[in-house]
Amino acid sequence: MFVTYTLPCGLRIICAPGQTDVVYLGIAVDAGTRHELPSESGMAHFTEHMSFKGTRRRSARQVISCMESVGGDLNAFTGKEETVYYCTCLGQHVSRAIDLLLDIALRSTYPQEEMNREVEVVIDEIESYQDQPSELIYDEFESLLFPGHPLGRNILGDADTLRTFRSDDMQRYAQRLYHPERMVLYVLGNVEPEKVLRIVEKIDPPQPSLKGRENVSFQPFEGKESSPFKGEIERVRGTHQAHVVVGAQTFGGDDPRHLHMYFLSNMLGGPAMSSRLNLALRERNGLVYTVESNHTTYTDTGVWSVYYGCDAKDRARCRRLVAHELDKLTQHPLSQHTLDAARRQLKGQTGISYDNFENVAIGMAKRYLHYGDTFSMQQLFERFDAITPEDLLTTAQTVFSPDRLLTLEYV
């Protein structure tokens, strides 16, 4: 189902068939927040912004109009472990899209005059984020789970540091991390893989760049699934609601238990209104409008958390209800009937999510970038089928143990 190539320069290509004439493609770069040096906080995200501000072949205006002029779309995002530049277009414009993606990923110039303007845009983004406690609390939560580690660093950085960056700093960052061998070009759509390969080889193919590779910074996480912060931490922020996150460190993407956590998290507070926490906090007691459980996987660790907003007077009651639901999952294995129902629901949600081709394409690229493999929906279902009640019980007992949990509250 998936076809892959590796060019002599080290660039990897992964292609998957699509069902429409719309093609979803992009470049995933092994360069995220955790690759920043201590003095580079926010550099990964700022570099993403600046990659749209001109290359050796295109002006900033030409970059943004290249795909828009044919009705296509170009965008990007930065994560803790990668930066992804992605594009959507009709199949007839794939060559144009690939040329543009390679250009901005490998030939951006990061001009100082553009940096001077764009830094204020990023700072506005930071300030708008500060006004959203329901989002901001997640960043502080991860900083407490991963103290002193790049994984605990805010992706956006801070205004004072960003204003010190110069074009030379960004050039050095890109020289260290933006190499073909640290990139995956991905394509999902009705395009023959051989055609994609021919396009890349015809477009001034990228060359290997060894200079600066020895300076790549990737600090492994060695927290052994524990954090020095436990119990409850309260921040007085004067918000109308109390915002609460409770959670713990979990498992990396190469640990089979990360799928157990995905399963448990979906049961607790996935998108279904019948999730255990939604029933306990909202439907039965009317204490919250939103409650959700999230699980994020990094290559060598992970984060599981529950978020809800409630009246300040209801905090203690909500905490007891959440603890009760967690406790139930640690006391006894699920019955086969309950497990089958949860598995059926998760498969249905996953199958529907595969209709979002852009997210499927990006997920495929990230998996291939970090682990060198990927899998189909059917293969994912087979992994769900292999999960047993004992698997979930053991994982729940490990993660939901009260002496591992951290609760952060904004009041």
Residue 14: strand pairing partners:
4, 186
Cα separation, 87 vs 73, whole angstroms = 5
Looking only at the bridges linking them, the beta strands covering 22-29 and 183-189 are antiparallel
Half-sphere exposure of 181 (CA within 13 A, CB side): 12
CATH 3.30.830.10 boundaries in the chain: 3-215, 231-410
Residue 307: strand pairing partners:
245, 292
Cα separation, 79 vs 322, whole angstroms = 29
Cα separation, 35 vs 25, whole angstroms = 24
- pTM as predicted: 0.93
pLDDT of residue 130: 86
- Tokens standing for 198? 């021919």
Cβ distance 148 to 163 under 8 Å? Answer: no
Averaged in consecutive runs of 10 residues, what is the pLDDT profile of the chain (411 residues)? Answer: 93 92 97 96 98 97 98 98 98 97 97 97 94 93 94 95 97 96 97 96 68 52 58 92 97 96 98 97 98 97 97 97 98 97 97 95 98 94 98 98 95 95
Tens digit of each residue's pLDDT (9 = 90 or more) over 32-57 = 999 999 999 999 999 999 999 999 99
Tens digit of each residue's pLDDT (9 = 90 or more) over 354-363 = 999 999 999 9
pLDDT of residue 20: 83
85: left (phi over 0), alpha (psi -120 to 50) or beta: beta
Cα separation, 281 vs 308, whole angstroms = 9
Among 302, 299, 228, CA closest to 265: 302
Q: Does domain 3-215 fall into CATH 3.30.830.10?
A: yes
Q: Looking at domain 231-410, which CATH architecture does it have?
A: 2-Layer Sandwich (3.30)
